[in-house]
Structure 1
Amino acid sequence: MEKVNSHSFRGIAEMKTSLKQRSKEIYQITIPTPFLVGPINTFLIRGDALTLVDTGPKTDDALTQMRNKLAECNVRTSDIDIVVLTHHHPDHIGLVQEFLPNAKLVGHPKLRPWLERDEQFLLNTRNYFYNFYEEHGVPMNWIEEMDRIHNNYLKYTTKVPLDLEVSEGDTIDGLPHWRVIETPGHAQSHISLIHEQDGTAIAGDHLIAHISSNAIIEAPYWNEVERPKTLIQYREALKKCLHTSFIYSGHGDGIENPRELIEERLKGMEEKAQVFKRKMGEEPIQVFDLSKKLYPKIYQKQTALTFSETLGHLDLLEEQGEVTSFSENDRTYYRKT
């Protein structure tokens, strides 16, 4: 991608506090979402190119807020040169259409099939989960409801092409001193940006101060055979951010001491895994049944998330040799070693 012309920020001095200025080149814009996670933070960066990190969902409220907050900087959606997308979830990519055709869309290769609505990829993913959930004890009516909810999320996104794929260690023309790191776990497509001079990071949903990011299970991509073990991935990706000095998060407040929070989260996962182990009992158990034990009320409203949480901690316990899995009659069970 060729380097694009820079834009000046006119009227910065008159910016209202609702568009939070965190540094001389980064401006936080908070956008409403219809999701339980609440508002999302997007970030305007003044580099050689005018760059936006994430967009908010495809809703009228989100678009109005985005336009209003950009206008406080005398910036229009058509002024944006680059849109960097941290991952494929609807609250982060939904408004991309509003920045086209002027902006170049940048993201991880695994963002592409979601952004471009690759029909074969989406069908393969859907079929995989029908089989996978059934294998792990989820009743078919629950699977169908999770599928309905997942498909409903697509209305908050737009089908558009990805212009530039980036991965570990890449830089982006127009964003001097910023480097891409891959931070999978919450999403396989997840990337973060780290400023090489001061250790600042813009990390999407990789680390959130007030809640733990869920390591959401995903189907294998393309020619992959095994599903990604997302909680184990997430732990390793968190360690890559231990050296950061400040993290701009996709939700809630910025994180002043990332190392402290990361170490707390890593320890919390270990402790939570032991809670899952105790709840398993002495007989073999399936993921869905263990999820119901741990989340007797929440699992009914957030089945996919509680299932992911349960499976992730079983993966961790299995990696540590504390549980083992086995198949019987096309069903997968876990038991303590």
Structure 2
Amino acid sequence: MNELFNGIHKIVLPFQSPLNHVNVYLIEGEELTLIDAGVNSSQAWSELEFQINSLGYKVTDIKNIVITHHHPDHIGLLDYFSHDVKVFGHSYNESWINDYKNLQMHFNKFINHHIKAYGIPDGFKKTLIKKETEGVASTKKITNFLTEGQVLPFLPGFKVLETPGHCSTHICLYRKTDGLLIGGDLLINNIFLNTFMEPPMIGSNERPKLLLEYNKSLLRIKNLDINLIYPGHGEEIKEIDLLIDLQFKKQQKRKKRVMRLLREKPHTIYELCTKLFVGLYEIQFALALSETIGIIDLLKEEKHIVINKTDEVWVCNLNPVPAYF
């Protein structure tokens, strides 16, 4: 734990994943505010209590929790807090947090429909289908929805930026006076696979194209006067433009790889996934597939490829009327 700047304290909580940890931020002011809520574990809760106590506070002193997005490592401890605590987040969080059972059924229906279309073997199906015990559901509701440009009275100087891409619910908090961004998982040092496939919103038939949204969010951040990012994982980010440029270079490399593969022959989405992410797809298939679909979305948007959906298994081909690459 350390004080980063003028009453903002980074608290590092344990998280059993390749990342090993998640950052939450305690912000002092007229009211004590926590940004994100870690993973749901007694170990994480004990560590949060210990670090807050070491600052001279108790967890019961926290009046507001702002969540940057709905992923389980950012909302996990919500139910440990008093019902009096106000919870702030994007309105899209509501289905993920409070109506997860219905969303889970919706997601599994979407996956079952697309497994054959993507050419995915049955052996990988279990890595995509959500089990009932895997929900991120919480009994604590989002009490206040956040929207673009909103200013929170208990966080003077900060305004809300809607930054979808990592997921559909993602927001950041931006303070223009000193160029500080509390960035959630928008950018993380040394992480270049950063979008996760989501089903269409309930009531919609269109899957969110999150890598396209992610790139728009990155360009938006790059065009703001930002000097420092406090991320959801890892160390603070100072070389912001460099990291964004690296993200785009990684994407460009993958796009060119797909184009080379399609010049050889048409491929299913699963086949492209296995060739783009050798060594990864076997152990983190959902992540590899999500990024593959994102790259395909980019190439399709740029009119470099087309997808033949006439057969049961969809096939990616080069666009017969090629765009400049």
TM-score by length of 2: 0.92
Deviation at 1:235, TM superposition (A): 0.3
SS at match of 1:253: coil
Deviation at 1:34, TM superposition (A): 1.2
Larger deviation, residues 89-98 vs 164-173: 164-173
Contact 1:116 / 1:160 at 8 angstroms: preserved in 2? yes
Contact 1:288 / 1:307 at 8 angstroms: preserved in 2? yes
Q: What is the percent sequence identity of the aligned residues?
A: 29
TM-score by length of 1: 0.89
SS at match of 1:100: coil
The structure 2 residue matched to 1:305, chosen from 278, 287, 293, is: 287
The structure 1 residue matched to 2:255, chosen from 269, 273, 293, is: 273
> Aligned AA for 2:183?
A
> Aligned AA for 1:101?
H
> Aligned AA for 1:103?
V
> Quick one: distance in 2 between partners of 1:176 and 1:157?
30
**Residue 225 (1) aligns with residue 196 (2):** no
Runs of 4+ displaced beyond 6 Å: none
Contact 1:210 / 1:252 at 8 angstroms: preserved in 2? no
For 1:132-182, what per-residue CA distance to the aligned partner results, in whole angstroms no more than 9, with x for missing partners? 23211112342133225x65543x763321101112111223111111111
**Residue 106 (1) aligns with residue 67 (2):** no
For 1:47-105, what per-residue CA distance to the aligned partner results, in whole angstroms no more than 9, with x for missing partners? 33211011111111111111111111111111111101111111110001122223101
Two-structure CA RMSD over aligned residues (Å): 1.7
> What does residue 175 of structure 2 align with?
195
**Residue 159 (1) aligns with residue 139 (2):** yes
The structure 2 residue matched to 1:63, chosen from 45, 52, 61, is: 45
Larger deviation, residues 325-334 vs 185-194: 325-334
> Quick one: distance in 2 between partners of 1:304 and 1:160?
28
Larger deviation, residues 24-33 vs 224-233: 224-233
> What does residue 191 of structure 2 align with?
211
Deviation at 1:213, TM superposition (A): 4.3
Deviation at 1:270, TM superposition (A): 1.7
Contact 2:97 / 2:141 at 8 angstroms: preserved in 1? yes
Contact 2:163 / 2:171 at 8 angstroms: preserved in 1? yes
> Aligned AA for 2:261?
K
> What does residue 33 of structure 2 align with?
51
The structure 2 residue matched to 1:72, chosen from 54, 61, 67, is: 54
Contact 1:55 / 1:92 at 8 angstroms: preserved in 2? yes
Contact 1:107 / 1:165 at 8 angstroms: preserved in 2? yes
> Quick one: distance in 2 between partners of 1:239 and 1:68?
38
> What does residue 115 of structure 2 align with?
133
> What does residue 326 of structure 1 align with?
308
> Quick one: distance in 1 between partners of 2:29 and 2:254?
42
Contact 2:127 / 2:286 at 8 angstroms: preserved in 1? no
Paired positions, count = 317
For 1:207-266, what per-residue CA distance to the aligned partner results, in whole angstroms no more than 9, with x for missing partners? 001212421111111233311111111000111211211100111000012122212222
Instruction: Give unpaired runs (5+ residues) of structure 1.
Output: 1-18
